Amino acid sequence: MSASAFLGEKGIPFTGARAVNLRTDLGGIAELIELCFSVDEAGRATARELRALSQSGALLSLLQRLDRVLEGLGQGFVWLEAGKLVANVSIAQADYPRDMGKGYIIANVAVHPDYRRRGFAKALMLKALDHIQQRGATFAILQVEAENFGARDLYQRLGFYEERTFIKWQRSASQRAPQKLEVMPFITLRQGNEWRAEYDLARVVRPNRRGGIGWLRPTHPNLFRPSLLRFLGMLASGQGVERWIVRGADERSILGALYSQTQFGGTVRLELMVHPNMQGKLEKPLLNYVLRRFDGQHRVLHLEHPADDELTNTLLEEYGFTRRHTLVHMRRDLNQTGSREG
C-alpha cells in the first residue's frame, strides 16, 4: 500500500471521505472488515479475498483499469483520518429482474472502534446514496445484524425501512436423518408447468414488501419459471435443484414447497414455504422428508427463514439446525418506478 495515496495537498495527511482506490485501499479495507466483522464467517472470507487481491500486483492494476471502463469493481467510499483508513462502505448493483427497478446493495459498512460516534458512517452512507442515485438507482438494500441497534437506527434515519428479519440456519454434515413420521402427506417433485402455482404460494408467504424469498432473492416469476439456460448453467457448475411440493385437494394449487439446491462443494441450500392455511401441518413432514433424502451424503445444510415464523424455527432446532446469524433486511426506495411485487 502506497503511503503517498493517503496524503492530501502539500503532503499533508488527508482527512475526509473519498472514493475507493483499488490500488491503495484494499489492504486497509480488509483489515477493517476483519476487525469489525471478526465473528462473521462471510466477513472473514471477504477480508481474506481483499487482502490476497491487494497483494496481487499486476492483476490489481488490470482490475483497476477495467473498473474505469466497466464501472463495476471497487465502487464505494472510505474515510481517512489523518491519512489512516478508518471507515468504509461498499456498493454493488443488485442482480434483480429489470422490471423490479435498478437496485444497489450497500455492504461492509464498517468504522474502526476507535473512531466511532463521529459521524463517519453517516457521511459515507450519504455519499453512497448520492452515488447510486446519480446512476439511476430506484432502490437501495442492505442487511444488518438484528442486535446492532445503533446501525439500524442510523439506517432508519437515512430513510431505510425494515422489510423482514431472517435467521440463517445451518445443520452439520455429521448429523443423521430423523425417523420417518408415521403420517406423511403426499410429497412429490414439482412439474415444470406448476411453476405458477409455486409462485402464487410465494407471493402469499414471501411477498416482496417483506423481503421476498430471502436476501437477493426477490419473489419474481423468473425464480420459478423453468429455464433451459439456468438448467445448463447449473449442470455445468455441478449444481442440482429439486422442488418438493404438497398439492392442494384441487390438484392445481401448491400448499407447501421445499426447494433444495446442491451447491459447489457439496453444501445444500434449502427454502421452505407453507401456506398460512396449512401452518403447523406441513413444515415437519417436508423437512423430515428432505433430511431423509440427504441422509448419508454428509452435506452441510443451510436455510434462511423468517424470524417471525416461530413454529418453523422451533422445528429447525428440533431437527438439529443451529442459528448462525439473525439479519434485518432493509430497503430505501429512491423513486416510484419499478415493481416491488414481481
What tens digit of pLDDT does each residue of 175-185 get? Answer: 999 999 999 99
* Cα–Cα distance for residue pair 49/56, rounded to 1 Å: 11
Strands lying side by side in the sheet with 76-81: 16-19, 76-81, 84-93, 103-111, 139-145, 322-333, 161-171, 301-306, 268-274, 254-262, 240-247, 188-189
Which range among 13-22, 59-68, 108-117 shows the weakest confidence by mean pLDDT? 59-68
What is the grid cell recorded at 10? 502539500
pLDDT tier, 63 (very low <50, low <70, confident <90, very high otherwise): very low
For 268-306, how does the pLDDT look when each residue is reduced to its tens digit (9 = 90+)? 999 999 999 999 999 999 999 999 999 999 999 999 999
pLDDT tier, 133 (very low <50, low <70, confident <90, very high otherwise): very high
| pLDDT value at residue 13 | 86
Of 208, 218, 206, 216, nearest to 308 by C-alpha is 206
| pLDDT value at residue 74 | 63
Region(s) of the chain under CATH 3.40.630.30: 3-137, 168-333
Q: Say whether domain 3-137 belongs to CATH 3.40.50.970.
A: no
Contact 23, 5 (CB under 8 A): yes
Q: Is the pLDDT of residue 83 over 50?
A: yes
| Phi then psi dihedrals of residue 9, to 5 deg | -65, 145
Contact 158, 125 (CB under 8 A): yes
pLDDT tier, 267 (very low <50, low <70, confident <90, very high otherwise): very high
* Cα–Cα distance for residue pair 178/315, rounded to 1 Å: 12
What is the grid cell recorded at 221? 416469476
Q: Is the pLDDT of residue 340 over 90?
A: no
Would you state the CATH architecture of domain 168-333? 3-Layer(aba) Sandwich (3.40)
pLDDT tier, 230 (very low <50, low <70, confident <90, very high otherwise): confident
Q: Is the pLDDT of residue 50 over 60?
A: no
- One-letter amino acid identity for 57? G
